[in-house]
Amino acid sequence: MSRFFSQKYEKLVPYTPGEQPKDMKYVKLNTNESPFPPSPIAQKYAKEAAENLQLYSDPECRDLVKKAAEYFGIEKDEIIFVNGSDDILNFAFMAFCDDKTPVAFPNISYGFYPVFAEFNGIPYEEIPLNEDFTINPEDYMGINKTIFIANPNAPTGIALPLETIEKIVKSNPDNVVVIDEAYVDFGAESAVSLVHKYENLLVTQTFSKSRSMAGARLGFGIGSKALIQDLNTVRYSTNPYNINRMTMAAGIGALEDNEYFKKNCEAIKANRAWTVAELEKLGFTVLPSCANFVFAKHAKIDGGEIYTTLKKMGILVRHFDKERLSDFNRITIGSMEQMETLISALKKITEGAE
């Protein structure tokens, strides 16, 4: 770092995004992207919006907000759109946490949570998962802290039932509970239905996964009008034009093309079930996933070795060195062709390991 770098950030350890190597063409199963292109309607709208890129985008996202409010059955001032769901998560750390209001989240979860806490100078507690990698709801009951829970969790893919989420929200009436639903469309139950019941609930989602728009950067939060007003105060104090015209238009198209969205989600679920069955035949233990990825470890082969060997074979998966995770690899569920390629490679790797 330079000698000009602020001391308040000198010990900051940044988030490590999934690798995007360009040295060869890989089967990319490491960053939970969709194997399917965006909706044709989303592509059409984005192309049309490109004709007016000389003009600023609408900071209020009025057309997109109207469409989304209709889609989710909420009021227009109960939703906020941002530049990817990482934006809304950071805004929530800024708006609802400080040195008097610390934050809590699982010790095995989305890697950005501790980074956001450190970046914003917020005291935080990382609550251990159970031995089976599930969240213990009792650990979050009435703890008087802002809570962040990814549901389904990452990188495990395990989801909490809605009634459990509600108990956590209800038991913390004086603190905001953020439910990060980046992967909810692949098998978990959304907490959006609870936002009119609990003023302290914020639900965040993204268009990156189930709506095939990772490269467009579009996320959102749904909550009470007061919470959304707080978040907009932060947004307008940083970058009110944080969503470009093309992304905004594509988001409208994606919401309009609900059949395309549903078809792709069902394809991912089917491919996930097939992949889990094939992995288990090869001696892998696979955690129960409600996401567009699975978390798997082999009984006899080190997770790092599997990751390295697959990469040499042109297949990328995500490996974590963190304690309790190093035996595992997170594998994105792609097209059936991609999953067949993966399983074929793993058969070669695991030969003789029984």
Residue-by-residue pLDDT tens, the chain, 354 positions: 898 999 989 889 898 888 888 877 899 999 999 999 999 999 999 999 999 999 999 999 999 999 999 999 999 999 999 999 999 999 999 999 999 999 999 999 999 999 999 999 999 999 999 999 999 999 999 999 999 999 999 999 999 999 999 999 999 999 999 999 999 999 999 999 999 999 999 999 999 999 999 999 999 999 999 999 999 999 999 999 999 999 999 999 999 999 999 999 999 999 999 999 999 999 999 999 999 999 999 999 999 999 999 999 999 999 999 889 999 999 999 999 999 999 999 999 999 665
Tokens found for residue 350: 């695991």
The whole-angstrom separation of Cα 205 and Cα 192 is 10
The number of beta carbons lying within 10 Å of the beta carbon of residue 48 is 13
Q: How many residues does the chain have?
A: 354
CB 244 within 8 A of CB 295: no
Q: 30 in helix, strand or coil?
A: coil
Q: Quick one: how many helices (H) and strands (E) in the chain?
A: 10, 13
Tokens found for residue 223: 């909550």
Residue 274, phi then psi, degrees to nearest 5? -65, -45
What's the pTM value of the predicted model, to 2 decimals? 0.96
CB 305 within 8 A of CB 297: no
The whole-angstrom separation of Cα 80 and Cα 88 is 8
Identity of the residue numbered 109: S
The whole-angstrom separation of Cα 205 and Cα 218 is 9
The β-bridge partners of 82 are 219
Q: 121 in helix, strand or coil?
A: coil
Q: 332 in helix, strand or coil?
A: strand
State how far the alpha carbon of 305 is from the alpha carbons of 28, 154, 173, 311, 322, in Å.
18, 22, 46, 10, 15
The whole-angstrom separation of Cα 339 and Cα 278 is 10
CB 212 within 8 A of CB 39: yes
CB 302 within 8 A of CB 238: no
